[in-house]
Amino acid sequence: QVQLVESGGGLVQAGGSLRLSCAASVDTFSIYSMAWFRQAPGKEREFVAVHSWLLDDTRYAGSVKGRFTISRDNAKKSVYLQMNSLKSEDTAVYYCAAARRGTPQTPREYVYWGQGTQLTVSS
């Protein structure tokens, strides 16, 4: 059983920064592509960023490119999302997810999910 636990969410003002963390309990963390998705109330779950260690491939949604940075620490089995220049539109529940292959950008391709952490950006 794989468990992903997000943390680091909170309330910040527009223009501020925040770092989200995701801790994974898995034997072979480096094998998985790790991603961040977000979902606002009444909206579909939206891709944010993904990183594959095996493929040396990183992808970002256009709405966050240049502002957000995904990173990982394989020794700590953790993935992070550094969020800068936050906007009110970034307000959502942020989910950590793991995929077994590739760098997919659709929720359907992810096999493990965390329970989410809330980010609220006030303007």
Share of the chain above pLDDT 90, in %: 93
Alpha-carbon span 115 to 99, nearest angstrom: 16
Tell how strand 46-52 and strand 33-39 pair up: antiparallel
Residue whose entry in the numeric block shows the structure tokens 């980010």: 119
Checking if the pLDDT of 3 tops 80, the result is: yes
Q: What count of other Cβ atoms lies within 10 Å of the Cβ of residue 121?
A: 20
Residue whose entry in the numeric block shows the structure tokens 């700590």: 76
pLDDT of residue 10: 97
Average pLDDT over every residue of 43-67: 97
Judged on CB neighbours under 10 Å (0-12, 13-18, 19+), 114 is buried
**CA distances (Å), origin 62, targets 32, 45, 58, 70:** 23, 15, 13, 14
